[in-house]
Amino acid sequence: MKAIVFTEYGTPDVLELKEIDKPIPKEDEVLIKNYAVSVNDWDMGLLEGGDLINRLLNGILKPKIQILGSDIAGRIEEVGKNVRRFQPGDEVYGDLSGKWGGFAEYVCAPENALALKPASMSFEEAAAIPQAAMLAIQGLSDKGQIQSAQRLLINGAGGGVGTFAVQIAKLHGVEVTGVDSPGKFEMMRSIGFDHVIDYEQEDFTKNGKSYDLILDVKTNRSIFDYTRALSRNGIYVTVGGAMGRLLQAFFLMPLISIISKKKICIVALKPNKDLAYMNELFEAGRIKPVIDGPYKLHEVPDAFRRFGKGVHKGKLVITVAHN
């Protein structure tokens, strides 16, 4: 089978299209013919190997996992003898974080990492959903306790998490402001953002406006800057970003809560937890993934370069095979 492989840490230049052996499923796994996969921050972090945590997880000097890609969608070809939920021919999707292997024509996955794909959902749409939509739901609902008539700000709003989050927030009747670059503003307005802020021209933490809830995809500034932009009893939720800033938020959460009555939360992703809910919203026409691409398997290095520049709109998706 064909796969995008990397044997050393580095830039997207180290990604290579190679012919490798087709994987064999274990007793509790299924073999999936992969039709689509999307790019996530974790893929980029593992590729670059830029921080100690990534190196500890995936090899200090060389990567142990050599095929990236966690958000996949495809059709089951074979099931292990202990698999009960699925059978050959089922169309499935899910987040394979920790196992990876998505940038390939075939991938093995444990059955508990998968959900059935609705027939009305394309493989590309399915591959766009798992990680970004779970972060959006768990950030807004589980941690953010979103309520109607609130003012929500999303920092890093034009990527995968932000484009799902605004659609979910609108179901609650929330006023949504998005912070990103002007090249994404037309798309952002079309999916429901009430206000947009160019992060290069305006600092939302210093413009005097306040928000009941902030969902942060970037976490690229001091936690004290964010709390300044929160209204009384407001909630700040981060779903990822710079490790130093995340650690600062973690250690200062209790102090900020005591001093200001404002709440700081960090989402620890629960993969695939809300896929059934996403299926319901999709089939009801209330959620539509925003897709950048799709690209082809041999174009994965170019897709990673685009992702690294931060200019993509919604989720960067790769079509691995045509249905």
**Same fold across 2-129+289-319 and 131-266:** no
> What pLDDT was estimated at residue 124?
98
> What pLDDT was estimated at residue 54?
77
* CA–CA dist 287, 166 (Å, integer): 10
> What pLDDT was estimated at residue 240?
84
Q: Model confidence at 283, in pLDDT bands (50, 70, 90)? A: very high
Amino acid at 232: R
**In the numeric block, which tokens belong to residue 178?**
């998005």
Kind and range of the H or E element at 303?
helix 300-309
Q: Model confidence at 52, in pLDDT bands (50, 70, 90)? A: confident
Going from N- to C-terminal start, the domains of the chain cover 2-129+289-319, 131-266
- At 134, give phi and psi (nearest 5°): -65, -40
* CA–CA dist 234, 161 (Å, integer): 20
> What pLDDT was estimated at residue 92?
98
Percentage of residues in the chain having pLDDT higher than 90? 86
pLDDT at 57 over 90: no
According to the CATH classification, is domain 2-129+289-319 in 3.90.650.10? Answer: no
| Mean of pLDDT values over 41-48 | 93
Q: For the segment 65-113, what is each residue's pLDDT rounded down to a tens digit?
A: 999 999 999 999 999 999 999 999 999 999 999 899 999 999 999 999 9
> What pLDDT was estimated at residue 261?
82
pLDDT at 255 over 80: no
* DSSP 8-state code for residue 105: S
The CATH number of the structural domain formed by 131-266 is 3.40.50.720
Average pLDDT, the chain: 94
Q: For the segment 20-41, what is each residue's pLDDT rounded down to a tens digit?
A: 999 999 999 999 999 999 999 9
Q: Model confidence at 323, in pLDDT bands (50, 70, 90)? A: confident
Helix, strand or coil, per DSSP, at residue 30: strand
Q: For the segment 288-298, what is each residue's pLDDT rounded down to a tens digit?
A: 999 999 999 99
The CA-atom distances, in angstroms, between 297 and each of 14, 240, 304, 316 are: 15, 27, 12, 12
| Mean of pLDDT values over 8-24 | 97
Q: How many CB atoms lie within 10 A of CB 209?
A: 15
CB burial class (10 A; 0-12, 13-18, 19+) of residue 322?
Answer: exposed
| Mean of pLDDT values over 54-62 | 85
Best CA proximity match to 279, nearest among 103, 153, 93, 135: 93
Q: For the segment 128-182, what is each residue's pLDDT rounded down to a tens digit?
A: 999 999 999 999 999 999 999 999 999 999 999 999 999 999 999 999 999 999 9
- At 154, give phi and psi (nearest 5°): -115, 120
- For the chain, where are the alpha helices, taking DSSP H only? 41-48, 52-58, 123-128, 130-137, 160-170, 185-190, 223-228, 243-260, 275-283, 300-309
| Mean of pLDDT values over 240-261 | 76
Identify the residue whose tokens are 């929500």. 152
Helices (H) and strands (E) in the chain, counts: 10, 15
